[in-house]
Amino acid sequence: MKLEIGFSKIVSRDGTYACRPAMHMDCLCWVKRDSYLPVGSQGLKAVAKAKLRYDPVELDPEDMCRMAAEQPQ
């Protein structure tokens, strides 16, 4: 698998696979590690806002589909 896609099993851990150039975006580990976050703020969106200071623009799903077809980026 390492030759095909770059991921390999880490021997010292419990069945974890890793890839050196891959970004580590495991928000569940952030929540477990940073347990000081309030119970209502342990979802993916709340953790991303708290830890990454990322506040995405909220769009209506119907507008998203239309914009993806008309204005792809």
pLDDT for 27? 61
Q: Residue 15 falls within a domain, yes or no?
A: no
Write down the mean pLDDT value for the chain: 75
On whether residue 36 sits in a domain, the answer given is yes
In a domain, 71, yes or no: yes
* Res 11: pLDDT: 73
Residue 8 belongs to a domain: no
List, in sequence order, the alpha helices (H) in the chain: 2-5, 27-33, 44-52, 61-70
Domains of the chain: total: 1
Per-residue pLDDT tens for 12-71?
Answer: 767 777 776 665 556 666 666 766 767 776 677 777 787 788 877 788 888 888 988 998
| Domain span at 72 | 23-73
| Assigned domain for 18 exists | no
Q: In this structure, what are the phi and psi dihedrals at residue 61, rounded to the nearest 5 degrees?
A: -55, -35
Residue 42 lies in a domain: yes
**pLDDT tens column, 19-28:** 766 655 566 6
**Residue 5's beta-bridge partner residues?**
none
